[in-house]
Amino acid sequence: MTTTISQARAVATRNYLLYDTGDVAGVDEVFAPDVIDHNPVPGTSTGIEGMRFLVGEVRNGFSDTRHEIVFQEELPGGWVVNHWRMTAVHTGDAFGLAASGRPVSLTGTDIVRVVDGRITEIYHVEELLQMRLQLTA
């Protein structure tokens, strides 16, 4: 039996490649220009500029970044739920933390809506306390 991946799941998965490769320019291919980020980083916009900021911060602050999708489920209406784990090394300044050279592993959950091949809405929760403890302890 062959399993096919829907367009919504493929786009939701490609989102993580942006972070792993640091491809800020790719944000325009994955996210709609008027994307709604329901959990923007404080001080950033909810739109595509906020998504560019996130990808750029990860690119600038971490090396050897790798996302693994632990769980993925597609729901009606183009919605996709992803639970993921990111591993990386904190080699640059990011999110207000000076480079520590320490490895980090954290998990998060994203709920995205894909319309016409791009993410139009995103809810995301990252275990930032987990990350902060690893980088500052």
Per residue in 6-58, pLDDT tens?
A: 999 999 999 999 999 999 999 999 999 999 999 998 888 889 999 999 999 99
Residue 74 is assigned to a structural domain of this protein = yes
Residue 110 is assigned to a structural domain of this protein = yes
Residue 38 is assigned to a structural domain of this protein = yes
Does pTM top 0.75 for this prediction? yes
Total structural domains within the chain = 1
Residue 131 is assigned to a structural domain of this protein = yes
Q: Which domain holds residue 97?
A: 7-136
Residue 1 is assigned to a structural domain of this protein = no
Contacts of 49 (CB under 8 A, 6+ apart): none
- CATH number where 92 lies: 3.10.450.50
Distance CA 1, CA 19 (A): 32
- 82: tokens are 């992803």
Distance CA 95, CA 51 (A): 14
* Conformation bin of residue 64: beta by default, left when phi > 0, alpha when psi is -120 to 50: left
Residue 129 is assigned to a structural domain of this protein = yes
